[in-house]
């Protein structure tokens, strides 16, 4: 009969998806992918006329928050909480940079929208300001709440052991 629990700890093998782990540890890669995904989703929603309904707008906002906070959690979960102090704002700032780079590319090809009208280069600074004032505080607040939750769970787990 095969043993399911090894007798020696060195017999344990850990199978981990190396590519995903390397990706999730990189603040630059995760932020760029997140920024591109958020701006592409926004462009899709506005160009397809999906923003005509309040239900669809709320659904878009929820999906965008899930992407932003999900990838932030994926990245921050690789590090101790004390290192989140600089990683969360760096992640958010890089997300804004990636988003605005995609936005500039979309403006140059005439596919960036503000509401139902096509955005111009004169609209870009306002979009940058809006992205900075929403993404950076949101990620910092979320990471603070996540850090508090992690510490609380650790304390409760330590007491019950």
CA distances for 132 relative to 62, 81, 85, 95, angstroms: 18, 24, 18, 9
Residue 30's pLDDT is: 97
Q: What is the DSSP string of 49-62?
A: TGGGSHHHHHHHHH
Q: Which residue has the tokens 């990189």?
A: 26
Which DSSP category does 114 fall into? E
Cβ(72)–Cβ(142) below 8 Å: yes
Residue 144's pLDDT is: 97
pLDDT along the chain (161 residues), means of 10: 55 68 93 96 81 80 96 95 96 98 95 87 96 97 97 90 72
Residue 1's pLDDT is: 46
Q: Please, which residues bridge with residue 21 across strands?
A: none
The beta-strand segments (E) located in 7-143 are: 113-114, 117-118
Residue 142's pLDDT is: 98
Q: Cα separation of 48 and 69, whole Å?
A: 25
pTM score: 0.85
């Amino acid at each position: 009969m095969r043993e399911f629990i090894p007798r020696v700890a060195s017999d344990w093998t850990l199978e981990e998806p190396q590519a995903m782990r390397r990706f999730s540890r990189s603040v630059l890669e995760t932020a760029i992918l997140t920024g591109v995904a958020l701006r592409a989703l926004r462009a899709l929603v506005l160009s397809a006329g999906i923003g005509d309904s309040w239900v669809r707008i709320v659904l878009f906002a929820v999906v965008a928050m899930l992407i932003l906070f999900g990838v932030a959690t994926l990245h921050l979960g690789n590090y101790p909480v004390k290192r989140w102090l600089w990683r969360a704002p760096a992640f958010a700032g890089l997300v804004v940079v990636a988003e605005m780079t995609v936005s500039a590319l979309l403006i140059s090809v005439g596919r960036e929208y503000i509401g139902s009208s096509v955005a111009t280069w004169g609209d870009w600074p306002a979009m940058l300001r809006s992205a900075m004032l929403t993404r950076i505080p949101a990620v910092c607040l979320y990471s603070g709440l996540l850090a508090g939750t992690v510490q609380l769970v650790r304390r409760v787990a330590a007491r019950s052991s």
